[in-house]
Amino acid sequence: MRILLIEDEDGIARRVVRALTASGYIVEHDRNGEDGWYRGDSENFDAVVLDLGLPQMDGLQVLKRWRAAGRTMPVLILTARGTWMERVEGIDAGADDYLPKPFQMEELLARLRAIVRRSVGAAESVLRAGSVSLDTRRMAVLFDGAPIDLSQLEYRLLSYLMHHRGRVVSQLELTEHVYGEDIERESNAIEVLVARVRKKIDAGLILTKRGFGYMIPLDDPGAIDVDV
């Protein structure tokens, strides 16, 4: 999962980046509203953590411009502004949730997991597909009830596919949401990663749509071309 953090307070930003990275997210950080707006408008993110009191462009204006342009990624607002009228204004502008400062990091993580789940139609923190269950809170994966040891990259891949169950995800999209921008990788990195995950869980869970990408089906894969 790829998260955009727009926060100008360096101390808060460092804490949030550490917590999100430890929770398996890829985090991109911008310190002002102008840069954050541009990145969110031109790149794909699973969610945004957005401060309101930003230099160059206010966070509320950033959000309004995204929504006016049709950008629908879930947004969690962080702000020291505490009045209920300001909270209402943020939610009416298109925010999915609102967390006042100061905050506990566990609450931020829980709220972020919730808005990401809601954005893909998942109600519970444990995602299930066949004999595999993935606990987004504990970053734990079970296969037939037994825990499976996955690397961080393997977990990111499986988590992204399970969050987008029923949709074919291209290799390019997986690359963007599994690897950080600065990580060097081979051209076949996703293929190798999928093969590693298949060896640890049900090999038929992740299907290949030749020429398009990978998917975890909702029901019977039917006419999908499978290369396991």
82-113 pLDDT, tens digit each:
667 777 888 899 999 999 999 999 999 999 99
Average pLDDT rounded to a whole number, residues 22-35:
96
Q: Which of 105, 161, 170 is nearest to 134 (CA)?
A: 161
Percentage of the chain lying above the pLDDT 90 cut: 76
> What's the pLDDT score for residue 79?
85
Q: Which long-range contacts (CB under 8 A, 24 or more apart) does 37-40 make?
A: 37/61, 37/62, 37/65, 37/66, 39/4, 40/4, 40/6, 40/66, 40/71, 40/73
Structural domains of the chain sorted by starting position, each given as residue range(s) with its CATH number in brackets: 2-119 (3.40.50.2300), 126-215 (1.10.10.10)
Q: Which of 182-186, 191-195, 200-204 has the highest mean pLDDT?
A: 191-195
d(CA 20, CA 110): 11
> What's the pLDDT score for residue 221?
43
Q: Which of 191, 208, 195, 11 is nearest to 102 (CA)?
A: 11
Which H or E run contains 126? strand 126-129
> What's the pLDDT score for residue 82?
63
Indicate if the pLDDT at residue 186 is higher than 90.
no
> What's the pLDDT score for residue 151?
94
d(CA 152, CA 154): 5
Indicate if the pLDDT at residue 29 is higher than 60.
yes
Average pLDDT rounded to a whole number, residues 3-10:
97
> What's the pLDDT score for residue 88?
83
d(CA 172, CA 2): 13
pLDDT in tens, 38-89: 999 999 999 999 999 999 999 999 999 999 999 999 999 998 866 677 778 8
CB 15 within 8 A of CB 103: no
3-state secondary structure of 27: strand
pLDDT range class, residue 228, cuts 50, 70, 90: very low
Indicate if the pLDDT at residue 6 is higher than 70.
yes
CB atoms within 10 A of CB 120: 15
pLDDT range class, residue 223, cuts 50, 70, 90: very low
